[in-house]
């Protein structure tokens, strides 16, 4: 991949995506009206509580939805190709070559019956038609690239012979083996201790700088978001509710849910008798309330928030929010 790829080139575009559960006509979608983009060289973080639709959205990008979930409407384009219209054979070709993926549990993603090097080489043999010897040699180089010591010996090892941190590095090596344009990382550091988490995040940032790939980072860890993301997309109850550049979103949250999430994070120099929590819980899919889906947990809610679809509106340049009370939300200081 050309590391100097134009940064403004869009490598992922999700437009008004709706995902439905089969056999549930007339019910709200699992995901509705989700739109965002990822550009080359950019990290976009997809955040929200469990059950908000983050992971199912990322699986839709990879065309790896469970059999009972379908794309009902909207489009997903990867490197300019509409994957919602692609055949299964075409998606097999795209996964691994144009879009790579890293998930939170490497042992569930790595094949325990194959050596680490063979698994990395397999992708290059399949997509790039490299001879076995050449692909295995490249696998060693990739293991070295992701910071694994004695990479030739590790390439000959099985996954269970590696530590958790090394397994995740090996999985990243496999994901970038064919120099994808887009990397989807779904909670890539959750199963790791704090020190290894920092190393993996630094590795991802370094690889992105070298290759120019775009990255969609699915996470609930706002500390990770602050350290690595260029832009943030906030999801709640199956919808995107706010998106903005990271610094802008952290400084000027314009949706009550985003504000509540940020207020729940401990901050240096901020003394509290108790950490704020968000009352209530995310409504289950299929039981989303009418109007604003956050209104029953929201301190800003009023009567008009309870009925009708809530549109996404511009707050300022490159900053959108799905809220009727943006002015009230943005008037408050985050330190309050």
Query: What are 7-44's pLDDT values in tens digits?
Result: 579 999 999 999 998 877 667 789 999 999 999 999 99
- Buried b / exposed e over 292-319, threshold 16 CB at 10 Å, is bbbbebbebbeeebeeeebebeebeeeb
State the Cα–Cα distance between residues 128 and 93, nearest whole angstrom.
10
Q: What is the edge-to-edge ordering of all strands in the sheet holding 10-21?
A: 31-39, 10-21, 69-78, 81-82
pLDDT at 35: 97
| Residue 1 confidence (pLDDT) | 42
Architecture of the 9-98+181-336 domain: 3-Layer(aba) Sandwich (3.40)
- Residue 285: the pLDDT is 83
Rounded to an integer, what is the distance from CA 53 to the centroid of its chain? 11
Per-residue model confidence (pLDDT) at position 213? 93
Q: Which residues pair with 83 in a beta bridge?
A: none
Q: Where are the domains of the chain?
A: 9-98+181-336, 107-179
Helix (H, G, I), strand (E, B) or coil at 268: coil
Residue 108 neighbours by CB distance under 10 Å: 9
Which parts of the chain register pLDDT below 50? 1-5, 335-336
Q: What per-residue confidence (pLDDT) applies to 6?
A: 54
- Would you state the pLDDT for residue 3? 44
pLDDT value of residue 105? 74
Per-residue confidence (pLDDT) for residue 13, from 0 to 100? 97
Q: Residue 4: what pLDDT?
A: 46
Residue 23, sorted as left (phi over 0), alpha (psi -120 to 50) or beta, turns out to be left
Round to whole Å and give the CA distance between 190 and 197: 8
């Amino acid at each position: 991949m050309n590391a100097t790829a134009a940064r403004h080139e869009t490598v992922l575009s999700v437009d008004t995506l709706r995902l439905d559960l089969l056999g549930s006509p007339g019910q709200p979608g699992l995901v509705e009206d989700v739109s965002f983009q990822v550009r080359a060289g950019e990290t976009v973080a997809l955040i929200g509580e469990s059950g908000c639709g983050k992971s199912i959205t990322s699986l839709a990008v990879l065309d790896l939805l469970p059999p009972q979930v379908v794309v009902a409407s909207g489009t997903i384009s990867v490197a300019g190709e509409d994957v919602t219209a692609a055949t299964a054979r075409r998606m097999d070709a795209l996964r691994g070559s144009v879009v790579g993926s890293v998930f939170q549990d490497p042992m569930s993603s790595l094949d325990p019956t194959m050596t680490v090097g063979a698994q990395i080489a397999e992708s290059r043999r399949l997509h790039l038609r490299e001879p076995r010897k050449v692909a295995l040699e490249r696998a060693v180089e990739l293991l070295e690239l992701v910071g694994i010591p004695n990479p030739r010996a590790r390439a000959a090892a099985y996954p269970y012979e590696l530590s958790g941190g090394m397994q995740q590095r090996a999985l990243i090596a496999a994901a970038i083996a064919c120099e994808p344009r887009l990397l989807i990382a779904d909670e890539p550091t959750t199963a790791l201790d704090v020190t290894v988490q920092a190393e993996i995040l630094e590795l991802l940032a370094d690889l992105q700088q070298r290759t120019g790939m775009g990255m969609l980072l699915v996470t609930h860890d706002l500390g990770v978001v602050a350290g690595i993301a260029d832009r943030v997309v906030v999801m709640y109850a199956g919808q995107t509710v706010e998106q903005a550049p990271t610094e802008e979103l952290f400084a000027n949250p314009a949706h009550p849910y985003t504000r509540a999430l940020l207020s729940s994070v401990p901050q240096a120099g901020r003394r509290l008798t108790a950490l704020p929590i968000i009352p209530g819980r995310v409504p289950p899919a299929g039981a989303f309330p009418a109007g604003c889906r956050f209104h029953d947990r929201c301190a800003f809610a009023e009567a008009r928030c309870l009925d009708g679809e809530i549109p996404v509106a511009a707050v300022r340049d490159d900053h959108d929010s799905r809220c009727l009370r943006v002015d009230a939300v943005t008037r408050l200081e985050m330190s309050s």
